[in-house]
Structure 1
Amino acid sequence: MNRAEDEAGATMAEPYLTDVGWSGSALRVAGAIRRDGEPPAVPEMELVLRERDGGGLLRLPASATAENGLITFEALVDVASVERGEPLPGGLWDVDLAIGAPPEGRVFELGPERAPGLDTSPQRRFLPGAVTVAAYFGGRGTLSIDVGGRSHVAGTTAADGVAWDERRGEVVITGHIDRRWISMPVSGTLILTERRTRDTFEVIAALEESDDRLGYRAALPVTRAFVDDPLPRGSWDVALCIGFSGMHRELGVLAPGDPVDVQVWRRFRHVRVASSAAPDPLTITVGRA
Structure 2
Amino acid sequence: MAAPAVSVIVAAYNAMPYLTRCITSVAEQTIGSDELEIIVVDDGSTDGTAKELERLAGMHPGLINIFKQANSGGPSAPRNVGLDHARGTFVFFLDADDYLGPETLERMVAMAEKNGTDIVLGKMVGVGGRGLPTSMFKRNQPKTDVFSSRVYWALNPLKLFRRELLERHALRFPTSLPIGEDQSFVALAYLHSSGISVIADYDCLFCTLREDGGNTTVRHSGSEPRLRFLPHVIDILLENVPPGPGRDHLAHRHLTIEVQEILGHLAAEPRPQQEKALAQLADTVAPLWHKGMNNQLSAMARLRLHLVRHQMLDEALELTRFEKELAGRKFSTPVLVDEGRALARYPFLRDPARAIPDSCYDVTAQLGVRHRVTRAELHSTTLYLAGHGYLHRVATEDVTTELVLRERDRKEEFRLPVTHTATPGLGADEDQGHYVYEKAGFEAALDITTAADGSPLGDGLWDISLAIGAQGITREVRIGSKRTVDVSGKAATHVVDTNEGPRAATLYTTNPHGNFTLDLGENKHAVLPHLSLNDTVQWASDTPTELEFTGRCTLAAHPEGTLTATLRNDRGDNATFPASTTGDALVVRIPVAELSAGTWHGELRLGNWVLPLPELPNNLMAAKWRRRALPWYAKPALNSTNGFALQVAKTDLIGAVTRRITS
TM-score grouping bracket, smaller chain normalisation: 0.3 to 0.5
Higher relative contact order (CA 8 A, sep 6+): 1
More helix by share: 2
Q: Which has the larger radius of gyration?
A: 2
